[in-house]
Amino acid sequence: MPDKNTNPLANRLRPQDLSEFFGQEKISGPDSFLYQAIQKDQVPSIIFWGPPGSGKTTLASIIARQTNSYFTQLSAVTSGVKDLRQVIETAKQKRGQNLKTILFVDEIHRWNKAQQDALLPHIEDGTIILIGATTENPSFSINSPLLSRTKMITLEALTKKDLVQIINQALTKEGIKAERETVELIAKLANGDARIALNIIEACLQQGKDISAEAVKKVMDKPELIYDRAGEEHYNLASALIKSMRGSDPDAALYWLARMLTAGEDPLFIARRLIIFASEDIGIANNSALLLANAAFEACHKIGMPECRINLSHAVAYLARSPKSNATYEAYNKAEKDAREQGNLAVPFSLRNAPTDLMKGLGYGQNYKYPHHENDEDQEYLPPELKGKKYL
């Protein structure tokens, strides 16, 4: 048993059953599938998908305590197939004792295809019940065969109300009092993450027994922003930025830009997205947009953070306010569709280059009218099969 002084508060105060578990009522309430499965001791293999600190590990530990199971845990960051083999051997022994084995794999998205595939036969034959936890979208990070053999349960970031309940429960268990305003400040700074909330309390306690607003502010330089450059939130924020600009809302666009930069996003990633946006969403409605977006990229490359945030905010505001047109983007998509579906349509002879006498003799370049000298509106530039086709 870890000593109280070395065991983190978040682990020490982890709920023992669903009555102590706050938040995620949709998936843990009395009418939920999970609640019923736990009560009946018929929990299947599960993938918990949700942001950090939303309760994935806690739910796994509650399942282990409230079912007749042997519980073992692996971290996908530090373990592999060799560790899994050892778990399977133990699980087979436990099965001989009529005891189910629940294997909890934290950050399961970090296991590669071979490692994930190694789980399949043991899930199918009932040797283990898998509970995987991931912050990444399972559609992209978990193999399809494994997904088909598990039930996916989605967790949301905890609300401020949930966090206030969790904080108050923690303070009560530790015999500590705090003002309501202090509790709400901690909940705000935790930004949906129960672990961060408890870590703030623990950091305050390390400075003394006082849990006050002043103590909280002293241990927190800034609010924790849930962000991972390689994770889903990275793409969620980028999507919000693009859609705000597309909707001509510079205020929202600047907010999402600030969220990304404050969290540590690479400014060049943002600048590249702006260059794409300038052609995809503004295009010929304002040809200067591409020039400005490209200039913003060059400025970010030359200057870097923190000053290049000024260049990015300039570009984002300009692109958001600019008139919009995706005509060229859609026109290209239509042309590409024909290019793929129609096959390799022959280039009309009049448009072919004729650098040799042989090619000229075959009719290459014949009847081509040079537009600068001859104004012939009837001259065709598309293959005959696409004559009259309009993309733009």
Task: Give the domain-ending residue among 295, 321, 347.
Answer: 321
Q: 67 and 180 in one domain?
A: no
How confident is the prediction for the chain on average, in pLDDT? 88
Q: 288 and 246 in one domain?
A: yes
Question: 57 in a domain, yes or no?
Answer: yes
**Full domain range(s) for residue 375:** 329-386
Average pLDDT over residues 167-174: 90
Q: What pLDDT sits at residue 241?
A: 96
Which residue has better confidence, 1 or 278? 278
Q: 141 and 31 in one domain?
A: yes
CATH number for 252: 1.20.272.10
Does residue 137 surpass a pLDDT of 90? no
Q: What pLDDT sits at residue 225?
A: 39
Q: What pLDDT sits at residue 200?
A: 86
CATH number for 214: 1.10.8.60
Q: 206 and 185 in one domain?
A: yes
Q: What pLDDT sits at residue 2?
A: 44
Q: 166 and 186 in one domain?
A: yes
Does residue 232 surpass a pLDDT of 70? no
pLDDT digits (tens, 9 = 90+) for 75-116: 888 888 889 999 999 999 999 998 999 999 998 988 988 899
Instruction: Work out the pLDDT band at 357, boundaries 50, 70, 90.
Output: confident
Does residue 213 surpass a pLDDT of 90? no
- Domain total for the chain? 4
Q: 251 and 275 in one domain?
A: yes
Task: Give the domain-ending residue among 107, 131, 154.
Answer: 154
Q: 138 and 167 in one domain?
A: no
CATH number for 136: 3.40.50.300
Query: What pTM does this model have?
Result: 0.62
Does residue 300 surpass a pLDDT of 60? yes
Task: Give the domain-ending residue among 154, 181, 205.
Answer: 154
Q: What does the H/E/C string look like for the chain?
A: CCCCCCCCHHHHCCCCCHHHCCCCHHHHCCCCHHHHHHHCCCCCCEEEECCCCCCHHHHHHHHHHHCCEEEEEEECCCCCHHHHHHHHHHHHHHHHCCCEEEEEEECHHHCCHHHHHCCHHHHHCCCCEEEEEECCCHHHHCCHHHHHCCEEEECCCCCHHHHHHHHHHHHHHHCCCCCHHHHHHHHHHHCCCHHHHHHHHHHHHHHCCCCCHHHHHHHCCCCCCCCCCCCHHHHHHHHHHHHHHHCCCHHHHHHHHHHHHHCCCCHHHHHHHHHHHHHHHHHHHCCHHHHHHHHHHHHHHHHCCCCHHHHHHHHHHHHHHCCCCCHHHHHHHHHHHHHHHCCCCCCCHHHCCCCCHHHHHCCCCCCCCCCCCCCCCCCCCCCHHHCCCCCC
pLDDT digits (tens, 9 = 90+) for 9-36: 877 888 888 888 988 989 999 999 999 9
